[in-house]
Structure 1
Amino acid sequence: MTEQLTEQHRPFLYVVVCAAGIAADVDTLIGAAQDEGWGVGVIATPTALGFIDRETVEARTGHAVRSAWRTPGSPQPLPWADAIAVAPATFNTVNKWAAGISDTLALGILCEAHGLGTPTAVQPYVNAAQAAHPAYGASLERLRSMGVLFGDAVPHRARTDEGRAAYRWTAVLDLLRPVLTGTGGNG
């Protein structure tokens, strides 16, 4: 963060949404964040666009859902982020992010967040078969070493929808609350 959080500055949260079956429920996180005082903008991976109700999200946040880079000279479409919540975070996004791959806007923002010192919290949504892959554990370790905060998501059984009921959308807000209250963060 480049400025102090003050009464005049409403903190702004980027919600990065990945292509998981539960992405359609992202409004749960958006509403909870707004109730806590965050302004919210949504950045979706290109595939996640097919999983969310774009019109509803845009009406709720007051901002267009972003999925592609802006063209040179066009205005910044969202306020700069004071913090980032990645929910749901998929196996693909976690591994690409940890490897420094920036082939989508969402990954570009996440890779840049480390260098900017933007507090970032992640609530993964992966199945146990994916989580067993050695790259996933190594990716989690690398992201943690970069200061990324992780929620309490537990991998669910593969080929089931079991993880939906147990997924705690607001875990990322719990981790980012110090940024909102001005008692923590990287600013």
Structure 2
Amino acid sequence: MTSPQRVLYHVVCAAPPALAAADFVAQAQQGGWDVCVVTTSRAAVWLDLPALAAVSGHPVRTDYKLPGQPDVLPPPTAFAVVPATFNTINKWAAGIADTLVLGLLTEALGLGLPAVVAPCLTAAQAAHPAYATSCQTLRSAGVRLLDRWTPQDADRVSGGWDGADSQRALQELERHPHLVR
């Protein structure tokens, strides 16, 4: 009997840790994931999409496909939103699906798919009352939120994000009770 395929949608928002997206993909692949990258439109501007596609083995999606076009990605079994911005977290919790990223995330929540989120926002954004409410909404739906990422050293490569942060996100995903193993 073969085990089910583990397909991780790596959702990338426009925040400094996005610059380490290829490293996250490689680490997830080492953990047995087939990784598909989906980015916000702003994150797509920051990234080398052909290089990410080469690492993941799948086209990088940034926008909805046209009606009648086949889906180029396999269906997801889990999501890792690394990094997640204030905007994405709040819109997702509110059920707003005005982009491909948010459409996929709102569907994932409705389907009960495992999701881990690595928030990357300023202290002022984290203090906004909508953020706490959104985090509570997502947590109550089973989403695993990591501690808020903060830049500790502006001179570090990839905006201060390192392999330990990627490992932490992947470890939290592996602990999710609804994860296909």
Give the TM-score taking structure 1 as reference length.
0.86
Kindly provide the amino acid, as one letter, of the partner of residue 175 in structure 1.
Answer: E
Partner of 1:132: 127
In structure 2, the CA distance between the partners of 1:126 and 1:52, relative to structure 1 (3 Å rule), is same
- Percent of residue pairs bearing the same amino acid type: 43
The answer to whether the 8 A contact 2:22-2:52 is kept is yes
Is the 1:128–1:156 Cα contact (8 Å) retained in structure 2? Answer: no
The reply to whether residue 172 of structure 1 matches residue 169 of structure 2 is yes
**Structure 2 residue identity aligned to 1:62:** G
Question: What TM-score, normalized by structure 2, do the two folds share?
Answer: 0.88
More moved, 85-94 vs 71-80: 71-80
Q: CA deviation at 1:41?
A: 0.3
> 3-state DSSP class of the match of 2:160?
helix
Deviation (angstroms), 1:132 = 1.1
Amino acid at match of 1:45: T
Q: Provide the C-alpha distance between the structure 2 equivalents of 1:11 and 1:186, rounded to a whole number of angstroms.
A: 9
Q: 1:152, CA displacement in angstroms? A: 2.9
Structure 2 match to 1:22? 17
Counterpart-to-counterpart distance in 2, 1:186 and 1:30 = 18
Deviation at 1:171, TM superposition (A): 2.2
Partners of 2:7 and 2:91 in 1: CA distance: 25
Aligned partners of 1:162, 1:147: CA distance in 2, in Å? 35
Query: Does residue 178 of structure 2 align to residue 185 of structure 1?
Result: yes
- Where has structure 1 moved over 6 Å in runs of 4 or more? none
Q: Is the 8 A contact 2:89 2:134 kept in 1?
A: yes
Q: 1:62 to 1:27 in 2, by over 3 A?
A: same
Task: Write the letter of the residue equivalent to 2:98.
Answer: D
CA distance in 2, matches of 1:162, 1:170: 21
Q: How many residues align?
A: 176
Q: 1:73: Cα distance to partner?
A: 1.5
Q: 1:97 maps to what in 2?
A: 92
Offset at residue 154 of structure 1 (A): 4.2
Instruction: Give, as a single letter, the amino acid of the residue that structure 2 aligns with 1:176.
Output: L
Taking a change above 3 Å as real, the CA distance of residues 166 and 14 of structure 1, as seen in their structure-2 partners, is closer
2:166 match: secondary structure: coil
Q: Which runs of 5+ in 2 are unaligned?
A: none
* DSSP 3-state at the match of 2:9: strand
Select the residue among 34, 42, 49 that pairs with 2:37: 42
Structure 2 distance, partners of 1:105, 1:166, is 25
Given that 2:81 and 2:116 are in contact with CA atoms closer than 8 Å, whether structure 1 keeps it comes out as yes
Specify the alignment match of 1:65 in structure 2: 60
1:148: Cα distance to partner?
Answer: 0.5
Q: Could you tell me whether the CA contact under 8 Å between 1:82 and 1:118 is conserved in 2?
A: yes
